[in-house]
Chains A and B, each alone.
Chain A
Amino acid sequence: EVQLVESGGGLVQPGGSLRLSCVVSGFTVSNNYMSWVRQAPGKGLEWVSVIYSAHSGGSTYYADSVKGRFTISRDNPKNTVYLQMNSLRVEDTAVYYCANIGPRGMDFDLWGQGTVVTVSS
């Protein structure tokens, strides 16, 4: 069974750091394009970051809103994708979803249940 399970969310003060994890079962993360998408309370979806497959060079890309503060990575033996979030801001408060990018390379065909990040003093 294919599953994406996020964890690592919580309450953090502005300027703090968190690392989100997305443990995947049912497929190999290194073979796929993996992404993070977030949703602020009562708002729409915002793409955050993508990491390409090892075969495609493993490149990483970020939304302008998080560039320089967030880092996406993966641990192949653990079949896990991470999002390291530094210098957190109040506006980073959101549900963070891990998502698989489908074979067409442009849409998100598998999603986790999300993990909540709250940035507040």
Chain B
Amino acid sequence: IVLTQSPGTLSLSPGEGATLSCRASQSVSSTYLAWYQQKPGQAPRLLIYGASSRAAGIPDRFSGSGSGTDFTLTISRLEPEDFAVYYCQRYDGSSLFTFGPGTKVDIK
């Protein structure tokens, strides 16, 4: 299963909303879909697991949704610290993990 993320880059202003897409080449169990944020020079940070559950300490402006082959990460109002690269990730249920290529959210 291949994960495709779109757009590759999203140029937005602080305060705007962001919608990031992750599409799988075959159906993925919602239980096995996660989202991460990565800032330059830092390790990734888990944002969303199980497609829609926020990880500990993640602000409620981040939300995840979707099922089957189409999943979405939504940031309701961009804060300056939200400009980063976002990755989706799936687990195949038998010990293999895959990341999408990432979406960069940068400041317009």
Contacts and interface: CB of A to CB of B under 8 A. Distances in A.
Partners in one complex: yes
Given A106-B97, A107-B46, 6 more contacts: A61-B96, A102-B49, A104-B50, A108-B46, A111-B44, A111-B45
B43 A112 contact: yes
A75 interface: no
Size class of the A contact interface (CB-based, 8 Å): 20 to 34
A108 to B, nearest CB: 6
A112 B43 CA distance: 7
Interface string A80-105: 00000000000000000100001011
B23 to A, nearest CB: 15
Interface string B34-55: 1010100001111001100001
A109 B91 contact: no
A102 B36 CA distance: 13
Interface stretch (A13-21, A24-32, A43-51): A43-51
Contacts of A76: none
Given A44-B102, A45-B87, A104 B49 contact: yes
A44 B91 contact: no
Interface string A107-121: 111011110000000
B89 interface: yes
Given A106-B32, A107-B34, A109-B55, A44 B46 contact: no
The 7 closest A-B pairs by CB, nearest first: A106-B91, A111-B43, A107-B34, A47-B97, A61-B95, A45-B99, A107-B49
A108 B45 CA distance: 8
A35 interface: yes
A37 B98 CA distance: 10
